Amino acid sequence: MYLNTKIVNALMTLRAISPERLAAVTGLSSRALTAWLDGTAKDEDSDARLPFDRQLEVIKILGITGEVPRSDVTHAWFLREPAFGSREPTYEPLRTILLYCGGCDVTLLAAEADPFVSLRARTHFALTFDKFRAVLQITSAPFRSLAFSPGSLPNMRWVGEQAPLIVRKDLFLSLTGPGESVPAQLDLERHKALEIAHWKKIGELAAERGMGAPELAHFLIDKVPVKPMLPALSAQLTAAAPAAAKEPIPAAPEPESLFQGAK
């Protein structure tokens, strides 16, 4: 068994960790780590210099336990678009991870009010994968529009039009701070945002059928029995959030595997 270093490299870029920093954290030789990541070490040397259990330590630092990123934390990922030139290569690590991890929903994550002055062009997105959650921060040049286009990335579904996460400032700081939030918090906010979109859709469906709010209310009162669920409503809302996140997501066309067969 050996690890797919393409995925490890992509995760390092997304986590904004340099090989030197990773070597310092894991206590590995920087040269051995770089040689393993670049694939420049000879196969047998690579295994000797960086045994498999040490490779597992490396991916653990990058947030992976087992085959996929951990589900008990919200992963903080970072990308930086260049001020000039093509911005397509910026998204290559994200493309790799999307192919490896499968489909995800993506939506805007922003504070509810813009500040008076902001010269930092940082945009945050909430990524809801099947098994884990991530917040992606993209920094762009202050004078350029963002080139991030979920439609052009594999397995990414944009839900920002109907359910953007526009939250209070303190909550925004909590959700976007690395290690500050838990996935359930993000799921709850996403559930609230989707709920607004769903109620809007119900309103549109009712209007299409010639029903106003009073008629719809009467219909519900007359036809739909009341469920005894009010005392635990908040707890159910929290529990319902992960279920809401499990909407069908298109499967990965060619999923890569972190663990490759033995050589």
Partner 1 sequence: MKTSIDMTRPSALYVGLAAILLLAAFILPRLGLTGFESLVHAPYRRSGAAAALGVSIVFGFLGALRHAARAEEPWRVPGSQPLLLVLLFTAFGALGLLLSL
Residues that bind partner 1 (CB under 8 A): 108, 110-123, 125, 140, 142-146, 148, 160, 164-167, 189, 192-193, 196
Q: How far is the CB of 219 from partner 1 (least distance, A)?
A: 26
Q: State which residue, 166 or 239, has the beta carbon closest to partner 1.
A: 166
Q: How far apart are CA 159 and CA 187, in angstroms?
A: 14
Count of CB atoms situated within 10 Å of the CB of 2:
16
Count of CB atoms situated within 10 Å of the CB of 202:
11
Q: How far is the CB of 122 from partner 1 (least distance, A)?
A: 7
Contact between 71 and 101 under an 8 Å Cβ cutoff? The reply is no
Q: How far is the CB of 98 from partner 1 (least distance, A)?
A: 18
Q: State which residue, 56 or 110, has the beta carbon closest to partner 1.
A: 110
Q: How far is the CB of 115 from partner 1 (least distance, A)?
A: 6
Q: State which residue, 1 or 113, has the beta carbon closest to partner 1.
A: 113
Q: State which residue, 113 or 251, has the beta carbon closest to partner 1.
A: 113
Place of tokens 């393409």: 6
Q: State which residue, 120 or 263, has the beta carbon closest to partner 1.
A: 120
Q: How far apart are CA 119 and CA 96, in angstroms?
A: 31
Per the DSSP assignment, residues forming a β-bridge with 254 are: none
Contact between 198 and 140 under an 8 Å Cβ cutoff? The reply is no
Contact between 116 and 95 under an 8 Å Cβ cutoff? The reply is no
Q: State which residue, 110 or 239, has the beta carbon closest to partner 1.
A: 110
E strand or H helix at 69: strand 68-69
C-alpha pair distances (Å), 82 with each of 60, 95, 97, 142: 29, 17, 21, 11
Cα–Cα nearest to 128, from 199, 181, 183: 183
Q: How far is the CB of 109 from partner 1 (least distance, A)?
A: 9
**C-alpha distance across the termini of the chain, in Å:** 7
Q: State which residue, 30 or 162, has the beta carbon closest to partner 1.
A: 162
Q: How far is the CB of 239 from partner 1 (least distance, A)?
A: 19
* Angle CA 178–81–23, to nearest 5: 50
Count of CB atoms situated within 10 Å of the CB of 165:
23
Q: How far is the CB of 244 from partner 1 (least distance, A)?
A: 14
